[in-house]
């Protein structure tokens, strides 16, 4: 049975394209594998805090010395349990100011933990979550996967680095681009993204 961790990071609700597309991915996968288990982590509507000095102390291997540190460790452990249980990680990531949302960055800050998702060795850092697959659905108002604005895409390279640092190197990026460039461009962007989602689901069902 496949376990999917669906992560939505847009603060928007039904107006969010990335949410719509992650939902379509999960629905397609469930239609092909009725026993698939889905864990949904909604970061956009959550109160996941940014790291504080106390939280950093708890997440970097130290013993919790106060209530705030204990709460940070408990919160991180819960997020890690979801991540470790997943075979496929589906991330909905809208581009905000050329990068990822602060909500998604906070999630990575809570799960990138030494001894849990990576470790340092004599040969350098090693990711500990090998064998997982990620599908990242990116929604963007402009076009950043190619052309003159590719140089300011700080979203996809960042996500590839963060996932790879944890050992998740099998990553497929789905682009819904040009969404803010008029109705025709929006429809083309959505059609391209849906075709890529079809391809991704077909691969996962065949695995």
Strands 118-121 and 124-127, sheet pairing: antiparallel
Tally of domains in the chain = 1
| Model confidence pLDDT, tens digit, residues 14-53 | 889 999 999 999 999 999 988 899 999 999 887 888 988 8
Q: Is residue 91 part of a domain?
A: yes
Q: Is residue 38 part of a domain?
A: yes
Q: Is 152 left (phi over 0), alpha (psi -120 to 50) or beta?
A: alpha
Which CATH number does the domain housing residue 99 bear?
Answer: 3.40.50.360
Q: What is the pLDDT along the chain (207 residues), one digit of tens a residue?
A: 899 999 999 999 888 999 999 999 999 999 998 889 999 999 988 788 898 888 887 888 767 668 888 888 899 999 999 999 999 999 999 999 999 999 999 999 999 999 999 999 999 999 999 999 999 999 999 999 999 999 999 999 999 999 999 999 999 999 999 999 999 999 999 999 999 999 999 888 877
Q: Is residue 7 part of a domain?
A: yes
- Sheet with strand 88-94: strands edge to edge: 37-42, 3-8, 88-94, 133-139, 170-176
Residue with tokens 């998604």: 104
Whole-number Å distance between alpha carbons of 162 and 104: 11
Q: Is residue 172 part of a domain?
A: yes
Write down the pLDDT at residue 69. 84
The CA angle 147-150-152, to the nearest 5 degrees, is 140
Q: Is residue 111 part of a domain?
A: yes
Write down the pLDDT at residue 19. 96
Domain range spanning residue 143? Answer: 3-46+82-206
Write down the pLDDT at residue 204. 84
Q: Is residue 87 part of a domain?
A: yes
Q: Is residue 148 part of a domain?
A: yes
Q: Is residue 55 part of a domain?
A: no
Residue with tokens 């819960």: 78
């Amino acid at each position: 049975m496949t376990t999917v961790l669906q992560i939505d990071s847009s603060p928007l609700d039904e107006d969010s394209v990335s949410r719509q597309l992650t939902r379509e991915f999960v629905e397609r996968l469930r239609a092909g594998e009725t026993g698939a288990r889905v864990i949904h982590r909604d970061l956009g509507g959550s109160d996941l805090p940014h790291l504080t000095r106390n939280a950093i102390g708890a997440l970097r291997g130290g013993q919790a010395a106060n209530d705030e540190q204990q709460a940070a460790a408990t919160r991180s452990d819960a997020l890690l349990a979801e991540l470790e249980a997943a075979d496929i990680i589906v991330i909905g990531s809208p581009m905000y100011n050329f990068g990822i949302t602060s909500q998604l960055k906070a999630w990575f800050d809570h799960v990138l933990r030494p001894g849990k998702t990576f470790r340092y060795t004599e040969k350098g850092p090693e990711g500990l979550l090998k064998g997982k697959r990620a599908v990242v659905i990116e929604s963007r108002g402009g076009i950043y996967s190619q052309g003159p604005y590719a140089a300011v895409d700080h979203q996809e390279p960042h996500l590839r680095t963060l996932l790879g640092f944890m050992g998740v190197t099998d990553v497929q990026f789905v682009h819904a681009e040009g969404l803010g460039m008029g109705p025709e461009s929006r429809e083309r962007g959505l059609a391209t993204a849906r075709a890529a989602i079809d391809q991704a689901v077909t691969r996962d069902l065949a695995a």
